[in-house]
Amino acid sequence: MRFLVDMCMDVRVADWLRSQRHGATHLRDEGLQRLPDREIFDKAISENRTVVTFDLDFGEIAALCGQRRTSVIVFRLHSTRNAHVIERLATVLRETGGVLERSVVVLVEESRHRVRYLPVGTAGERGAG
């Protein structure tokens, strides 16, 4: 899988993804620290990458993008320590990896995650561990 890690995430998240043999780039890797959200989303679409972020705006952007789609993993965690973020990300990838190839928004919380298929309402929603 291929990922685009947003600026609000630590670069070590992208490093971890690469260590797991995923294609991952952090916006900082490409000097794109100030890229607006819409352009980040466009970049993810053009490069066939899933956006990894804490920014809730990406879920809304994904839902409103019509035919131009990619997946987004949005973290809503109390603890944003890298080890915790990576632990939750590992669980999400293990349990939902296949659906990321479709257009989905995965909301990651402390003890569960929810998958929302795009466009909203097309394939149902499911929650998981």
| Residue 51 identity (one-letter amino acid) | V
pLDDT in tens, the chain (129 residues): 999 999 999 999 999 999 999 999 999 999 999 999 999 999 999 999 999 999 988 888 887 766 667 899 999 999 999 999 999 999 999 998 789 988 899 999 999 999 998 876 555 444 555
Tell me how many domains the chain contains: 1
Q: Print the domain residue range for 98.
A: 2-128
Q: Are strands 23-26 and 50-53 parallel, antiparallel or unpaired?
A: unpaired
- Two structure tokens written together for 129: 């561990």
Give the CA distances from residue 82 to residues 2, 9, 11, 16, 89, in Å, rounded to whole numbers and listed in that order: 20, 9, 10, 10, 10
What is the sign, positive or negative, of the torsion defined by CA atoms of 56, 111, 10, 32?
negative
Peptide bond into 119 cis (omega under 30): yes
pTM: 0.89
